[in-house]
Amino acid sequence: MTKQRDMKCDVVVVGGGSAGVAAAIGAAQTGADTILIEKNPYFGGAATHSSVLTYCGFFTQGNPPEQIVGGVGQKVLNNLSKIGMYDGPKRTPHTGTVIVLLDPEATKIALDNCIAENNVKPLLHVQVIGTNVEDGKIKAIECVDHSGRFTIEAEAFIDASGEANLTALAGGEYICGNEKGTFQAGTLMIRIGGVREESNAHPLEVQKAIKLGKEHGIAALTKELGTIVRMPGSKDVLAILADEGVNGLDSVSMTKAEMSARKQAWGYLEAFKKYLPGFENAYLVQTGPQIGIRETRHIVGDYILTHSDVLNARRHNDSIGRGGWPMESHSEPGAPNVWQSIANNSYYDIPLRSLKVRNINNLWAAGRTIACDPDAFASVRVMGTAFATGHAAGVTAALYCQHGFVDPVSVRNELLIQDAII
Ligand SMILES: Cc1cc2nc3c(=O)[nH]c(=O)nc-3n(C[C@H](O)[C@H](O)[C@H](O)COP(=O)(O)OP(=O)(O)OC[C@H]3O[C@@H](n4cnc5c(N)ncnc54)[C@H](O)[C@@H]3O)c2cc1C
């Protein structure tokens, strides 16, 4: 007998980060009755929950930059524009990469608006903790909130959990990290207020201050050269420096990393106040809330996107989106990021096959969990690209509900109707 709180729909999306929001809107726009589940009190994933406040991957790195993500991603940018928080891409000081700067509260409300405008059924404060799998298909998922457990039945599912949690719960194939089983470093974002307006906080000046801090015995500092940006609106400074080696799947490791990184944040603040001009009256506005986790599980898909695909800007017949962010690896905590460019600063295609979880018939991945090797992952993981893979996963799942199979040509046609750039 169905319990009162149990639900039923066509498509369930697990995870409400960039990929999940795009997936849910893509599925709903294709006519599917769609539920979007997120355990946090807001959507946005790493952007809003770890203060990763720069969308990368919407544009190529060429001169001029070319926009390569449209569709649902563009709807989000339009909503940010409406509230005066997006007026085009910017170049990062030091690396020159092309980014979209974000304000956290504007991002939360822009995503809420997009979800409300597009007929998605959102469920916040819900965690997915189990699955019912029969004959290679997920029949239902088990969820929990403070009232207890309930189930949601659906025809198709999307894993946009960042950690491939749904895939793992369903017995889908996945790998952890790189070929050695290690992960890219995690980083706790540090948001600093009270910085004088004229201080441009160039990463090289910041590095000098951190070196001085280390020489003068400020404990616990790791990275010296990282991204430092001024946020839109508040003009607070966001510093991406406090690295930790962490296993994002393990609460013991996460606890250690959160506490150690918070200590680092206070250390960085001390170094900046003492040694960085313009930061004399600086204060800590916020860390995290959660340490940013770059990498945990990757699904094993019908195709594994490779280093060579990204490096050589390779095209695929079943392309459902474009990636344009250089491969940016954070393999060792504290070490400088390692960059590799895409040929001619252009873009590579992302094949639909890299979204399909190989051994579960009605499950697609989106965002940072899609099937790729460690180098390709270093590019594909960014949020602009996550909007693209999410949008495609949503359209695919909805078409699967209608026809019982997936035809890449139909998926591409529908994505074009929905203004995706493919
Ligand atoms: C420190 C750091 C800096 C970065 N810098 C940038 C940058 O500058 N620009 C950029 O574009 N990208 C950056 N990235 C990468 C980017 O943030 C992520 O790869 C991106 O957020 C992936 O999007 P996603 O939607 O796949 O996953 P996420 O953003 O991780 O979202 C996944 C969501 O799923 C939810 N979830 C997980 N499991 C469950 C469950 N069982 N039930 C319910 N909900 C669940 C989570 O709460 C989360 O909200 C950075 C990452 C880190 C860690």
Domain count, the chain: 2
Radius of gyration of the chain from its Cα atoms, rounded to whole angstroms: 21
CA 235 – CA 165 distance, rounded (Å): 36
- Structure confidence by residue, pLDDT tens digits, 141-197: 999 999 999 999 999 999 999 999 999 999 999 999 998 999 999 999 999 999 999
Does residue 270 sit in the same domain as residue 408?
no
Residue 267, C-beta contacts closer than 8 angstroms, at least 6 positions apart:
213, 218, 219, 220, 221
The last residue of one of the domains, among 257, 287, 317, is 287
**Which pLDDT belongs to residue 95?**
84
**Which pLDDT belongs to residue 93?**
74
Does residue 307 sit in the same domain as residue 393?
yes
Using DSSP's 3-state secondary structure scheme, residue 190 falls into strand
Does residue 207 sit in the same domain as residue 159?
no
Does residue 304 sit in the same domain as residue 343?
yes
Element (H, E) at 157: strand 156-159
CA 8 – CA 153 distance, rounded (Å): 5
Number of Cβ within 10 Å of residue 9's Cβ equals 17
Q: At what angle do helices 71-82 and 383-403 cross, to 10 degrees?
A: 130
ipTM of the complex model: 0.99
Does residue 238 sit in the same domain as residue 345?
no
The last residue of one of the domains, among 239, 266, 287, is 287
Which atom of ligand 1 is closest in space to residue 189's alpha carbon? 1
- For strands 11-14 and 156-159, give the pairing: parallel
**Which pLDDT belongs to residue 219?**
80
Number of Cβ within 10 Å of residue 87's Cβ equals 11
* Ligand 1 center–CA 39 separation, angstroms: 13
What CATH number does residue 272 fall under?
A: 3.30.70
Does residue 142 sit in the same domain as residue 66?
yes
Which atom of ligand 1 is closest in space to residue 368's alpha carbon? 26
- Residues 194 and 378 sit within 8 Å (Cβ to Cβ): no
Where helices occur in 83-172 by DSSP H, the ranges are 104-117, 165-169
Does residue 77 sit in the same domain as residue 48?
yes
> Mean per-residue pLDDT for 372-390?
98
* Ligand 1 center–CA 20 separation, angstroms: 10
CA 25 – CA 117 distance, rounded (Å): 9
* Ligand 1 center–CA 259 separation, angstroms: 20
- Structure confidence by residue, pLDDT tens digits, 235-289: 999 999 999 999 999 999 999 999 999 999 999 999 999 999 999 999 999 999 9
Instruction: State yes or no: pLDDT of 1 exceeds 50.
Output: no
Q: Which residues pair with 99 in a beta bridge?
A: 56, 90
> Mean per-residue pLDDT for 102-130?
98
* Ligand 1 center–CA 292 separation, angstroms: 8
What CATH number does residue 79 fall under?
A: 3.50.50.60
Q: At what angle do helices 251-275 and 203-215 cross, to 10 degrees?
A: 100
**Which pLDDT belongs to residue 202?**
85
* Ligand 1 center–CA 50 separation, angstroms: 8
The answer to whether residue 67 is domain-embedded is: yes
Which atom of ligand 1 is closest in space to residue 21's alpha carbon? 25
* Ligand 1 center–CA 162 separation, angstroms: 6
Does residue 322 sit in the same domain as residue 410?
yes
| Closest C-alpha to ligand 1, atom 35 | 15
The answer to whether residue 339 is domain-embedded is: yes
The answer to whether residue 113 is domain-embedded is: yes
**Which tokens belong to 350?**
């992302």
Question: Which residues line ligand 1 at a C-beta cut-off of 6 Å?
Answer: 14-20, 37-40, 45-46, 49-50, 52, 54-57, 127-128, 160-163, 165, 186-187, 240, 292-294, 367-368, 381-384, 386
- Among 138, 298, 377, 383, say which to mutate for ligand 1: greatest number of ligand atoms within 8 Å of CB: 383
- For strands 137-145 and 127-134, give the pairing: antiparallel
> Mean per-residue pLDDT for 223-238?
92
Does residue 88 sit in the same domain as residue 213?
no
Domain that holds residue 325: 7-179+295-417
Q: Which residues pair with 152 in a beta bridge?
A: 7, 141
**Which pLDDT belongs to residue 4?**
84
Does residue 200 sit in the same domain as residue 262?
yes
> Mean per-residue pLDDT for 205-213?
95
> Which conformational region is residue 334 in: left (phi greater than 0), alpha (psi within -120 to 50 degrees), or beta?
left
* Ligand 1 center–CA 109 separation, angstroms: 18
**Which pLDDT belongs to residue 290?**
98
Percent of the chain whose predicted confidence (pLDDT) is above 90 = 94
The answer to whether residue 1 is domain-embedded is: no
**Which pLDDT belongs to residue 2?**
55
The answer to whether residue 218 is domain-embedded is: yes
The answer to whether residue 124 is domain-embedded is: yes
One-letter amino acid of 140: A
- Among 39, 142, 297, say which to mutate for ligand 1: greatest number of ligand atoms within 8 Å of CB: 39
- Among 13, 97, 294, 296, say which to mutate for ligand 1: greatest number of ligand atoms within 8 Å of CB: 294
**Which tokens belong to 90?**
């910017």
| Closest C-alpha to ligand 1, atom 41 | 128
Q: Where are the beta strands (DSSP E) in 346-409?
A: 348-351, 363-365
Does residue 282 sit in the same domain as residue 303?
no
| Residue count of the chain | 422
The last residue of one of the domains, among 287, 311, 330, is 287
Does residue 341 sit in the same domain as residue 385?
yes
Residue 113, C-beta contacts closer than 8 angstroms, at least 6 positions apart:
79
Comparing CA positions, the residue from 296, 221, 207 lying closest to residue 261 is: 221
The answer to whether residue 2 is domain-embedded is: no
Using DSSP's 3-state secondary structure scheme, residue 250 falls into coil
- Structure confidence by residue, pLDDT tens digits, 300-321: 999 999 999 999 999 999 999 9
> Mean per-residue pLDDT for 72-84?
97
